[in-house]
Amino acid sequence: MVGDVNAALAVVLKDLRLTWRDRAGWLSAASFAAISVLIYSFAFDLATSDVRPLLPGVLWVTFLFAGVIASGQSFQRESEQGTFDALLLAPVSPSVLYFGKVVSNLIALLVMEVALLLLATILFDTMLITAELVLIVVIGTIGYVSLTTLLSTMGSRLRSRTMLLPVLALPLLVPMLIAAVRATGASLGEPSGSAPWTLLLVVFALWSAAGAALLFPSVVER
Amino acid sequence: MSESAIEIAIETTALTKRYAGLSVVRAVSIRLPQGSKTALLGANGAGKTTLLGMLTTLITPSEGEARIAGFRLADNHAAMRRRIGVLAHSPMLYEELTPLENLAFFARLYGVEDREARCEELLRLVGLWLRRHEPVAVLSRGYHQRLALARAIVHRPDVLLLDEPETGLDGEAVALLDELVLCAPGLTVLAATHRHDRIGEWAGGTVVLERGAVVEDTASRPVEPAATDEAATPEPAWSAT
């Protein structure tokens, strides 16, 4: 158990270090996200209308596509350098490796999302850094990253991997996106309340994480 | 456990791998004793890399059975993988990390207790200590191979599976390979190679593959009746030292 935790931590720290050293992919995703939010802020009439009902869609569409651009990076690098095989040779369960990958992707994506929430707060003149909203973003991102990490592993050995991830991920993420958008809307003042949607989001995140962790050993088998 | 089982480090029984119905490795049966050094020979496409891939647990066999260090391959024990070191075609290194970071990462992944001391020892041995803080990407192919060699033995394995280990190495590095691996006492080595001129310097026997099947084997021990009774025992053949 201690060995597994240590191995997962080693993967997390190594991936974060690699993400920092080779920032190109994540910078592309962050640039895309920042430009998207900027364009949305110009598209909406901030002076005369309440933009809060539109913000959940703006945020999650931006998170989704920025995440798709960024989250394939880790496995793509491992595949190109042949290091994924070296990971699989290690005396730890593939699920431990999967957990390490999920945590490192989660941290990197959350940093980008929090920065995006700050930018959106300024551009839309609406307070988006609230405990409730940050919690919804964290839960939604856990579900999202759990699934996309598994799918990017599946696609890492294929030549058409850049196309495969969005094609596979987007339909599977629809339930999570609906729950995330509705929970975000409720936290921004919609009358329905965020609790039921947040609960659905939690269920999706747990289902994604557990299902993907169980499937991962089969996915990496040759 | 019989004396015979203790002495056999790598044992395969009718090990077969098929891709889309085509047999790449066909019913390979070998029995390599502990501490033996065996050259795996064969032309390109003979199945050497696939056979090594199955023994490293990266490729799942279609049929047959194998035991490494007394563990059944099919069980894929973490304890078994801890005893195997692998040096493949690709050096399997993170180019954005430094040699020290690469080695420290793999040492941690394998649960090496004296991590810092072991990394320093190996980096000095392979001649990379002075370049330990430079990214691997700026090092030459020869240095990649030296570092890959250090990575393969960082966890002090009992069995080493090598795929053309001399590729990209200069004379000094080949001597290092001999010292650390190919001629190291006690270490069981199975190495695919095309360097026929060097086999006599390190190999005690050869296994020759042709179209996936063994056509010559001077390395294996004959099967003894007592050894077959041990087939279901999941215990390791010998303890790590």
CA contacts within 13 A on the Cβ side of A117: 22
- Answer whether B150's CB lies under 8 Å from B106's CB: no
Domain that holds residue A26: 2-220
User: What residue of B is the nearest CA neighbor of A18?
Assistant: B96
Range B104-129 average pLDDT: 94
pLDDT confidence bin for A218, thresholds 50/70/90: confident
* Cα B47 from Cα B156, distance rounded (Å): 27
H-helix or E-strand spanning residue B143: helix B141-153
Q: With pLDDT > 70 as the criterion, what percentage of chain B qualifies?
A: 90
d(CA A186, CA A175): 17
B chain contacts of residue A21, beta-carbon cutoff 8 Å = 96-97, 135
Segment among A76-80, A127-131, B42-46, B147-151 with least mean pLDDT: A76-80
Q: Tell me what the pLDDT averaged over chain B comes to.
A: 87
Question: Beta strands B84-87 and B159-163: pairing type?
Answer: parallel
User: Could you tell me the domains of chain B?
Assistant: 3-228 (3.40.50.300)
Average pLDDT for B21-29: 93
Give chain A's domain count. Answer: 1
pLDDT tens digits along B40-74: 999 999 999 999 999 998 899 999 999 998 899 88
pLDDT band at B7 (very low <50, low <70, confident <90, very high): confident
* A81/B61 Cα distance (integer angstroms): 25
Query: What is the rounded average pLDDT of the residues A32-40?
Result: 92
Query: For residue range A114-146, what is the model confidence (pLDDT) as tens digits?
Result: 999 999 999 988 899 999 999 999 999 999 999
Mean pLDDT of B114-140: 94
Q: Quick check: helix, strand or coil at residue A222?
A: coil
Nearest to B110 among A21, A22, A91 (CB): A91
B56 touches chain A (CB under 8 A): yes
Strands (E), chain B: 8-19, 22-33, 37-41, 63-68, 71-72, 84-87, 159-163, 188-192, 205-210, 213-217
Interface of B with A in 82-111 (CB under 8 A): 82, 84, 86, 88, 90-97, 101, 105-106, 108-111
Q: Which range among A211-220, B50-59, B200-209 shows the weakest confidence by mean pLDDT?
A: A211-220
A55 vs A220, which has greater pLDDT? A55
**Separation in Å, CA of B96 to nearest CA in chain A:** 6
Which one of A9, A14, A88 would you mutate to disrupt binding with B, by most B Cβ within 10 Å of its Cβ?
A: A14
- pLDDT for the residue B186: 86
pLDDT average, residue stretch A165-190: 86
